[in-house]
Structure 1
Amino acid sequence: MEQTNESSFKQAYRCFPLSDINKSHLEAGNRIIMPPSALDRLAFMEVEYPLLFEIENPASGQVSHCGVLEFSADEGFVFLPNWMMKTIKLIEGELVIVKKTSLPKGTYMKIQPHTMKFTSLTNPKAVLEKAFKHFACLTIGDTILITHNHEDHYLDIVETKPSNAISVVETDCEVEFAQPLDYKEPEKKPKTVITWKNDPDCKAQEEPAKFTPFTGAARRLDGKTPPAEPISTSDNGSDAAAERMRMTTDLIVKSHKRQGKLVFGSDDTIQPAKISKSVSKQDVKEGSLKIEEQKFQPFTGKKYILAG
């Protein structure tokens, strides 16, 4: 499997997670464990330090970068953090190609936490500075793992400068945080609109008053005010008005019959007094003639004197 080249190092290994050799405490980082033969080859090559490697999944073509922690693995094997295997979709026991490379020192990185729990830490940048001591490099597209106060935090590498992969060993690097993946925009509450009655722009248009016939007050000829009648607001306004008119007319007729009032014309409703049996028909006849003579007849040329 080993490929010999005096100027480069490129080797294929079977990959396994660090947990298989009881080194799970090295998960929060990106340094791998290689076999001693790799160190022997590198010792005879002109290489730059720190030692950085490109790792590639030959099945998918996905690539990431890492450093090396020690050379103590069995020959033909390499042990990687579990998160790195997931990043380039490696399955335990599959082949991975490890190639020596060099990377520029990073000047900028943009990181996106998976949860807001990380950004709510007292000083997330200080937490990163401490965690990056276990990292040799970063690659755009990686999802790295860091541990703080026994809690795991996953972060996506969104952007790096000056290249897509940078070294973070002994370098000053600007860090920017993107909004966490679980961030949700706060719901906007509907605005409460207050309408003032004295605002001319907000006045409601008043409906025109409906015309209701026969709504005037009734009057009596004797000067007295008849009892007030409730005004009907039902749709049958004409019937109510007619009823009020009939009651008013009855009041006027009754007032005509009261003593001491002047009545124009004859009153057919006045019944004649009963005639006593002791009065003869002749007396009744003569009395009727006298009454006829005393009736007021207009334009007859006669004069009448009203008895005082």
Structure 2
Amino acid sequence: MFSNLGQSFFRAQQASGFEDYFRCYPVSMMPSSSSREVANFGGKIFLPPSTLHKLTMLHISYPMLFELTNQETGRSTHSGVLEFLAEEGRCYLPQWMMSTLGIQTGGLLKIKNCDLPLGSFVKIEPQSVDFLEISDPKAVLENVLRNFTTLTVDDIVEVSYNNKVFGIKVLEVKPESSSHGICVIETDLETDFAPPVGYVEPDYKKEKKQSQVNPAATNPGLVGQGSMAKKINYSELLKEKPNTTKFQGSGVKLSGKTIKNEEVAAQDTSGLSLEGQPAPLILPDNQLFFGYPLKPYKGDNRTDKNTNQNPLFAGQGQTLRKSKKRKDKSTQSTSAKDKTRSPDAIIIDSD
């Protein structure tokens, strides 16, 4: 009889599912944990070890999904569980989740298990224009969703990227359900982005009108070849004869010689034309053009005829040593070797 009562009680508890109340605290107040920083920018919570025992007895299937409800404000959201290591009677939530529920630190929170459909589509809205600075937002969102188990409409989740925190609001999810939430584990999720809050659409019609303005009015150098020369009538200015009264002085070459007046002549520009495309300057190999004809240097090849007649040095040299008196070469002196000259033959007496 008692066994039948126990089985009926267990079936009734299994049919009702898991439901309990906890005092909630932010993840930042949690004792030291290696996953604390990751959990603060995710969608999972921490529950006590006794909760795992109850869920195991109720045969709750994986993934374990929960509905969090603040009965004072009537707000609710969904989450998964990261670890069962919280103190008994407590649960730890990310800061964005506590803001969404509108619950204070140490407030009473109702948690029960639930089932959510696998999501196929989500539309999000960044809460700051700074989100546009991210080069690949879809790749960033894909990496962020690894820390989430569920997504609920009207939730404003927080993600951390490049030492910045961005707020993202969930606008729409598919498939739609009465719980307004989806499960994002082991599913192909299509993502759509709404314009960020505070974003102003540029006026494309005004930009189009500005682009249709004749560029020659503002920049004549953009139309044709030599348009600036046409504007100042440069070809007519070159045809004018130079006014010799402007400069009455005389020129000097780099060598120091003065220039004669006959050498200064007017530039002939009759054949100069600035119309059309300029002709290409094609030079042979190993030749450069500096804007003027090359005049080879004429070296001074004159030979000095008086070089042999007038030697460069005709004096006498002197040494720093004192001169010694030399003996007269005419006097003949016998050397010491002659005095000790050896005999021509040596006779030995045998007797």
Correspondence 1:186 to 2:236: no
Matches of residues 163-178 of structure 1 in structure 2 within 5 Å? Answer: 163=176, 164-178=180-194
List per-residue Cα deviations over 1:268-301 (Å, max 9, x = no partner): xxxxxxxxxxxxxxxxxxxxxxxxxxxxxxxxxx
Q: 1:118 aligns with which of 123, 131, 156?
A: 131
Q: 1:147 aligns with which of 126, 148, 160?
A: 160
SS at match of 1:60: coil
Which residue in the other structure is 1:38 paired with?
Answer: 51
Q: 1:101 aligns with which of 109, 114, 117?
A: 114
Correspondence 1:14 to 2:23: yes
Query: What is the CA distance between 1:149 and its match in structure 2?
Result: 1.6
| Structure 2: gaps of 5 or more residues | 1-11, 214-351
Contact 1:48 1:102 in 2 (8 A): no
Which residue in the other structure is 1:5 paired with?
Answer: 13
| Structure 1: gaps of 5 or more residues | 195-308
- C-alpha distance in structure 1 between counterparts of 2:167 and 2:129, whole Å: 11
- C-alpha distance in structure 1 between counterparts of 2:131 and 2:200, whole Å: 15
SS at match of 1:6: helix
Which residue in the other structure is 2:67 paired with?
Answer: 54
Q: Which structure is richer in relative contact order (CA contacts within 8 A, separation 6 or more)?
A: 1
Matches of residues 252-271 of structure 1 in structure 2 within 5 Å? Answer: none
SS at match of 1:145: strand
Query: What is the CA distance between 1:146 and its match in structure 2?
Result: 1.0
Q: 1:27 aligns with which of 32, 40, 46?
A: 40
SS at match of 2:200: coil
| Higher radius of gyration, 1 or 2 | 1
SS at match of 1:170: coil
SS at match of 2:14: coil
- C-alpha distance in structure 1 between counterparts of 2:124 and 2:14, whole Å: 38
List per-residue Cα deviations over 1:171-212 (Å, max 9, x = no partner): 101100000002013357596899xxxxxxxxxxxxxxxxxx
Contact 2:13 2:58 in 1 (8 A): no
Which residue in the other structure is 2:93 paired with?
Answer: 80
When normalised by structure 2's length, the TM-score is 0.52
List per-residue Cα deviations over 1:49-99 (Å, max 9, x = no partner): 111100000101111000000111111111000100000101111100001
Which residue in the other structure is 1:70 paired with?
Answer: 83
Q: Percent identity?
A: 38
Contact 1:17 1:81 in 2 (8 A): yes
When normalised by structure 1's length, the TM-score is 0.59
Q: 1:48 to 1:119 in 2, by over 3 A?
A: farther
Give the partner amino acid of 2:23: R
- C-alpha distance in structure 1 between counterparts of 2:173 and 2:123, whole Å: 6
- C-alpha distance in structure 1 between counterparts of 2:77 and 2:128, whole Å: 23
Contact 1:146 1:152 in 2 (8 A): yes
How many residue pairs end up in the alignment? 191
Give the partner amino acid of 1:18: V
Correspondence 1:90 to 2:103: yes
Which residue in the other structure is 1:135 paired with?
Answer: 148
Which residue in the other structure is 2:328 paired with?
Answer: none
